[in-house]
Copies of this chain bind each other. A is one copy, B any other.
């Protein structure tokens, strides 16, 4: 490696704030993912480029690597680790990264896909679906490991993205019972995928209008369909809507209550000078009857091109199961204020 440093760009995000959710004390936490990344582009001539990107994800309040449950099993480069080639034919990459659906759909979500409690990406936008169910606990559920990506060039506003994963075991430590039994689960510990996970998304952009359609099937053959569109009636205003449906027929009987989950979200972004107003409303129906409903409002105030202050307010109603005696929904309010800095 006697190569000049100029080929590596370090980039990242630090986002930290104070938040308060009904029933808990005030917490120091984040609204966006926190990243420390390394990436580079090498010009190979004739329009051909070699690319790489490595992205650490961490929690700014404790300094740990990002993890949602298990202690130590998440990757160092949770964000992505990919290498590839780009040319007139498009882009081919190998490694670990966001699936086409997960990457495409963030542009149609009113919080731009950040995992804010007030946002919709983590819970509603994916209709409860996870792209990586056989990964160890704590690993991001929005990514494929051991995969190949192909993005076409943009042709007349149209682009196609495809990713296919290998049938490699990734070390899930909790068995997935599925249609099996506790003693003979459908997917045991460190299970091999029963099929190659894969996904594709198509996006189309025409002036103020954009739309996408996406499909994905994960390593345990859960399927997801999603469509969305956005429209800008004036430059400062962006309206958006998405619909997605998760089909678990490979692991759950088709007549089971949780066989299908669908979700829809509508939202708007309105830019006012250095400020941006975010509005969203969404509904998820995990059991085809009871609905989770979320209404959110947010405000981002840019104090520079790389730094903004944010305020979020959100109300979420989660229905109690029909078998529960009490008839009230569980309602949670969430407030959040903080600072978001790109470097």
Task: Knowing A16-B94, A83-B339, A343-B52 are in contact, say whether A72-B71 is a contact too (CB < 8 A).
Answer: yes
Q: Within the complex, which residue of B11, B18, B166 is in contact with A25, where a contact is CB–CB below 8 Å? A: B166
Q: Within the complex, which residue of B10, B61, B166 is in contact with A145, where a contact is CB–CB below 8 Å? A: B61
Main secondary structure of the interface of A (DSSP, over half): strand
Give chain B residues whose Cβ lies under 8 Å from the Cβ of A63.
54, 75-81, 95-96, 145
Q: Which A residues, 18 to 58, have Cβ-Cβ distances below 8 Å to chain B?
A: 18, 25-29, 35-38, 40, 42, 44-45, 48, 50, 52, 54, 56, 58
Give chain B residues whose Cβ lies under 8 Å from the Cβ of A79.
63
Query: Are A8 and B343 in touch, CB under 8 angstroms?
Result: yes
Chain B nearest CB from A301 CB (Å) reads: 12
Q: Within the complex, which residue of B35, B45, B338 is in contact with A94, where a contact is CB–CB below 8 Å? A: B338
Segment of A262-270, A276-284, A303-311 engaged in the interface with chain B: A303-311
Q: Quick check: is A259 within 8 A (CB to CB) of the other chain?
A: no
Query: Are A96 and B306 in touch, CB under 8 angstroms?
Result: no
State the CA gap A64–B75 with chains docked (Å).
4
Q: Quick check: is A69 within 8 A (CB to CB) of the other chain?
A: no
Query: Are B27 and A1 in touch, CB under 8 angstroms?
Result: no
Interface residue count on the A side (C-beta < 8 Å): 78
Query: Are A7 and B343 in touch, CB under 8 angstroms?
Result: yes
Give chain B residues whose Cβ lies under 8 Å from the Cβ of A80.
63
Q: Quick check: is A248 within 8 A (CB to CB) of the other chain?
A: no
Q: Quick check: is A341 within 8 A (CB to CB) of the other chain?
A: yes
Q: Quick check: is A160 within 8 A (CB to CB) of the other chain?
A: no
Query: Are B343 and A304 in touch, CB under 8 angstroms?
Result: no
State the CA gap A167–B96 with chains docked (Å).
36
Task: Knowing A60-B83, A95-B60 are in contact, say whether A7-B50 is a contact too (CB < 8 A).
Answer: no
Closest to A140 in B: B63
16 residue pairs bridging A and B, Cβ less than 8 Å apart: A1-B11, A1-B37, A10-B10, A25-B166, A26-B166, A28-B94, A42-B306, A42-B307, A44-B304, A54-B58, A61-B166, A63-B75, A63-B76, A63-B79, A64-B77, A71-B73
Contacts A63-B96, A72-B72, A76-B76 known; list 17 others, CB within 8 Å.
A1-B35, A8-B10, A12-B38, A14-B83, A25-B166, A28-B145, A28-B147, A28-B148, A36-B38, A40-B343, A50-B307, A54-B63, A61-B95, A62-B75, A63-B95, A64-B77, A65-B76
